[in-house]
């Protein structure tokens, strides 16, 4: 459980349909959050039009790109190892070009290009449309770099290709950047100010996905609850909007409703929420529409008010409890998951116990847990001493993980002898005789294949479970 949200996909080599007229080959890998995987689909779409087909074979590639994450030290170490691998291949194939995309690009641009000379181009999250120009620079024998952060770019005008897709689920990006200056987080510095994508372009992308057979989408943003469209511009400038702009503005609850009504047979998920911005009209909208999945990922990071303040999280423990209580009241069947950090600077044993007691109160369905890893450029790195010994961080993380396992088992056992609706996404990893899919609550369920197929909604009777997986048998096809 102590993994990033998409660690099951870490390093996935992304491939799309091949264009016969394209003569060059692109190898692209992604690390980190769902936004990075979504961005890679945008990059592949841009380069597809520049004559590149994607390949899973590194040795065949003319261009190798790695989409990077700066959230944790482990992610950066993994990317560095991959760059070493790329350059070993490049020595055999000198024409191959190597580039770094994403969140590490801005922070390590000089190191990668000038000091270590391990890449040919460095491209930040807001500069992907400049890739054709940057590649021309590289072809002319010059290093190429663009890490300028934009106040407008949302890529709403680019139809992402779906890479290594199961043809059932897809990401739809609705915001970029983040205005929350959490002291442990590098995202505001690597992805810039928060801006929202025009609602109509979101609906058009959802309609296109439905027409191509997709059954579920996840609305993506660093903080989806902050979504606010009033004709363009940064969220922080909304107070300067005209009266008409304010009157016709679309917030996240309204966008969620628009999406649910646009395709009532398609499942709608969203990620990630922030406790300080999740409003009850969002929860009420979830309750109103059957096709909006009943799951909220609600990172809390710590159960201690003192540590929350040090993290610049703009909510208290008590406010978080009130929000949880309201979610349970409005949407009793909703599952809730968490992000948690142990060993943040100055964390005491009492702070740690506060985290454990918060977990006991909520009893999350699942979570993503880490010990604190100081990230260069963050407020915590600049102003706080990383003063908790590693062995203490790891011990506290183990306490959190063990408690979460207990709560996950408690939550999955509640589904025994009930029927749930599952969307089949793929074959089970453990058995080619079983399907694997997820419930509305984002709980994985496996069951015998029988006559069902990928993309079917199936009513499944739950007979057994582990702490992470429901085990059952398909009863019948169901429809949203």
Answer whether 61's CB lies under 8 Å from 26's CB: yes
Paired tokens of 429: 């990893």
The phi and psi torsions of 288 (rounded to 5 degrees) equal -75, -30
Residue 293 is labelled as binding a ligand: no
Residue 182 is labelled as binding a ligand: yes
Burial letters 438-470, b for 16+ CB under 10 A, else e: bbbbbbbbbbeeeebebbbbbebebeebebebb
DSSP letter at 240? G
The C-alpha atoms of residue 122 and residue 112 are separated, in whole angstroms, by 8
The C-alpha atoms of residue 305 and residue 354 are separated, in whole angstroms, by 9
Residue 334 is labelled as binding a ligand: no
Residue 465 is labelled as binding a ligand: no
Strand partners, 7: none
Question: Starting from the edge strand earliest in sequence, which strands make up the sheet with 335-342, in order?
Answer: 295-297, 335-342, 366-371
The phi and psi torsions of 247 (rounded to 5 degrees) equal -70, -30
Answer whether 268's CB lies under 8 Å from 292's CB: yes
User: For residue 28, with 0-12 CB atoms within 10 Å meaning exposed, 13-18 middle and 19 or more buried, which class applies?
Assistant: buried
Residue 259 is labelled as binding a ligand: no
Measured at the CA of 242, the angle between CA 239 and CA 245, to 5 degrees, comes to 95
Q: How far apart, in Å, are the Cα atoms of 462 and each of 142, 337, 472?
A: 60, 21, 4
- Dihedral sign for Cα atoms in the order 153, 154, 157, 159: positive
The C-alpha atoms of residue 412 and residue 462 are separated, in whole angstroms, by 10
Burial letters 285-294, b for 16+ CB under 10 A, else e: bbbebebbbb
Q: How far apart, in Å, are the Cα atoms of 21 and each of 24, 40, 51, 108?
A: 9, 22, 7, 36
Q: How far apart, in Å, are the Cα atoms of 121 and each of 34, 155, 191, 478?
A: 23, 21, 18, 49
- The binding site for [4Fe-4S] cluster comprises 33, 69, 103, 178, 182, 185
- The binding site comprises 33, 69, 103, 178, 182, 185
């Amino acid at each position: 459980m102590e993994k990033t949200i998409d660690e099951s996909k870490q390093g996935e080599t992304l491939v799309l349909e091949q264009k016969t007229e394209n003569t060059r080959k692109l190898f692209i890998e992604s690390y980190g959050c769902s936004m990075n995987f979504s961005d890679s689909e945008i990059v592949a779409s841009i380069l597809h039009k520049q004559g590149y087909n994607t390949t899973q074979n590194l040795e065949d590639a003319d261009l190798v790109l790695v989409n990077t994450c700066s959230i944790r030290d482990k992610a950066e170490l993994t990317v560095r190892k991959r760059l070493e691998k790329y350059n070993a291949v490049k020595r055999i194939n000198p024409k191959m070009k190597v580039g770094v995309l994403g969140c590490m690009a801005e922070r390590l641009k000089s190191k990668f290009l000038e000091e270590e000379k391990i890449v040919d181009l460095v491209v930040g999250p807001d500069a992907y449309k400049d890739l054709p120009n940057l590649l021309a620079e590289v072809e002319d024998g010059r290093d190429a770099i663009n890490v300028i952060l934009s106040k407008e770019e949302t890529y709403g005008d680019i139809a992402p290709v779906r890479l290594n897709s199961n043809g059932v689920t897809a990401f739809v990006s609705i915001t970029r950047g983040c205005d929350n200056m959490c002291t442990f987080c590098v995202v505001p510095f690597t992805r810039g100010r928060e801006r929202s994508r025009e609602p109509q372009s979101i609906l058009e992308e959802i309609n296109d996905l439905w027409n191509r057979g997709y059954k579920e989408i996840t609305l993506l943003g660093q903080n989806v609850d902050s979504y606010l469209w009033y004709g363009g511009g940064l969220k922080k400038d909304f107070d300067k909007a005209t009266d008409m702009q304010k009157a016709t503005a679309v917030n996240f609850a309204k966008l969620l409703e628009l999406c649910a009504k646009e395709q009532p047979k398609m499942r709608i998920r969203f990620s990630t929420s922030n406790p300080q911005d999740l409003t009850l009209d969002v929860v009420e909208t979830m309750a109103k529409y059957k096709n909006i999945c009943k799951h909220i990922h609600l990172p809390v990071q710590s159960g201690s008010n003192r540590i929350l303040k040090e993290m610049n999280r703009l909510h208290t423990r008590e406010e978080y409890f009130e929000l949880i209580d309201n979610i349970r009241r409005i949407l009793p069947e909703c599952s809730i998951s968490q992000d948690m950090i142990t060993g943040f600077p100055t964390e005491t044993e009492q702070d740690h116990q506060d985290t454990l007691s918060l977990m006991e109160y909520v009893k999350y369905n699942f979570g993503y847990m880490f010990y604190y890893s100081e990230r260069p450029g963050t407020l915590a790195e600049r102003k706080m001493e990383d003063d908790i010994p590693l062995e203490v961080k790891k011990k506290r993380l183990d306490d959190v993980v063990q408690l979460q396992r207990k709560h996950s088992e408690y939550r999955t056992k509640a589904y025994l002898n009930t029927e749930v609706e599952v969307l089949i996404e793929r074959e089970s990893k453990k058995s080619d005789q079983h399907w694997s899919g997820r419930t509305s609550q984002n709980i994985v369920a496996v069951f015998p294949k029988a006559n069902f197929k990928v993309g079917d909604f199936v009513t499944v009777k739950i007979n057994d479970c582990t702490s992470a997986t429901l085990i059952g048998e398909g009863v019948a096809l169901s429809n949203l």
